[in-house]
Structure 1
Amino acid sequence: MKAKEIQDLIDFISESGLEEVNIETDQIKLKIKRSAALNEKVLDMLKNMPSSAPSAQAAPAPAPAPAPAAQTPQPSAQPSQPSAPADSGDEGNYVTIKSPMIGTFYRSANPESDPFIQVGDEVKAGQTVCIVEAMKLFNEIESEIKGTIVKILVDDASPVEYDQPLFLVDPS
């Protein structure tokens, strides 16, 4: 399998919504999971591969892929530090709705639509509060708690990180 074919496969997976693909032949074993950090690492490796690489040389390329997946939990520990000041002081009794992924934050389904929620709105568990677009896929983010929106912490169409606080909710 050539680097271009692997890159086309990754693009197809990102557009299809599949979470994981495993391909195994006599010459190559390839495992691709949907993770922005992992896909960026694989694409970087593909760019560094010679385009006429024989299949035997293509097989080692996927082997480093699990290493970035093992590193993925490390960033989740870092974003929790910035949320600590948000929970201090007057905001200590509020619950934070955080981004479950890296992407672009949108308050409404499209530019012509009203925002899903405003400050002061009541939300129920399971109610859509925003959209995070990642790799051209629009993911509805739902509230896990019932309460009142106290503060919106991110501007519309802004990039967000994994575990970044998006909203403060008063659960009382």
Structure 2
Amino acid sequence: MDIKEIQNLIKFVAKSGASEVKLEMDDIKITIKTGSESETTAVQYAPVATHMPQMHAPVAEVKPVAEAAAPAAPAAAENSKYITIKSPIIGTFYRKPSPEKPLFVEVGQTISEGDVLCVIEAMKLFNEIESEVSGKIVKILVDDSSPVEFDQPLFLVDPS
């Protein structure tokens, strides 16, 4: 909308006797107010901004490079000797077959190939996750009743 069209609109509103007219188009918003006592016309012209939802980035703690790299290297080397058992499906991880029964496995327990380690519920079906390796459970990486993703690490096993 150019200035000529706005001026014509102001004249039209003044002649019509309306006290206020609001016009919204794709990219502009115009409000015309006329005062009956003093016969003045005020125009408010504002471009309409499209509001996009703002995405907030996750806040991460920043550490100096030397400090951040030092602890990560020994941890990676330490975990490299262990076998990671990962989730074959998406669902909810459970360490027990039912609330009143004992845990399938605990840290420090020796397991054999084929032993049931946990169940993962997916769409109301409880899938037993069996060990594909023999060894000793070093660490359980997921809390009971937590959601898990496909290929998410569940257990660390020491095969020796």
Q: TM-score if structure 1 supplies the norm length?
A: 0.49
Q: Report the Cα distance in structure 2 between the residues aligned to 1:123 and 1:166, rounded to whole angstroms.
A: 15
Which of 132, 135, 144 is the matching residue for 1:144? Answer: 132
| 1:98-109 aligned within 5 A | 98-109=86-97
Q: Deviations over 1:102-158 (max 9, x none)?
A: 000000001111110000000100100000000000000000000000000000000
> Which residue type is aligned with residue 138 of structure 2?
V
Which amino acid in the other structure matches residue 144 of structure 1? E
Identity of aligned residues (%): 62
Structure-1 residue corresponding to 2:145: 157
What root-mean-square deviation, in Å, do the aligned CA atoms of Structure 1 and Structure 2 show? 1.3
* Unaligned residue ranges in structure 1 (runs of 5+): 1-84
Aligned residues: 87
Does 2:98 correspond to 1:89?
A: no
Rounded Cα–Cα distance in structure 2 between residues aligned with 1:170 and 1:122: 9
1:63 alignment counterpart: none
CA distance in 2, matches of 1:154, 1:170: 17
Rounded Cα–Cα distance in structure 2 between residues aligned with 1:126 and 1:108? 17
**Structure 1 residues 37-52: aligned runs within 5 Å:** none
Distance 2:78 2:84 in 1: 13
Structure showing greater relative contact order (alpha-carbon pairs closer than 8 Å, 6 or more residues apart): 1
- Counterpart-to-counterpart distance in 2, 1:147 and 1:127: 11
Q: Post-superposition shift, 1:89?
A: 2.2
TM-superposed CA distance for 1:91, in Å, is 1.1
CA distance in 1, matches of 2:78, 2:137: 15
How does the TM-score come out when normalised to structure 2?
0.53
Partner of 1:22: none
Gaps of 5+ in 2: 1-72
| Counterpart among 98, 104, 124 of residue 112 in structure 2 | 124
Q: Which residue of 2 aligns with 1:167?
A: 155
- Bigger helix share: 1
Deviations 1:11-35 (A, max 9, x none): xxxxxxxxxxxxxxxxxxxxxxxxx
Residue 88 of structure 1: how far off its partner (Å): 1.6
- CA distance in structure 2 between the aligned counterparts of 1:154 and 1:89, rounded to whole angstroms: 21
Alpha-carbon distance in 1 for matches of 2:156, 2:131: 11
> Can you list the C-alpha shifts for 1:58-107, whole angstroms capped at 9, x where unaligned?
xxxxxxxxxxxxxxxxxxxxxxxxxxx9x822111000010000000000
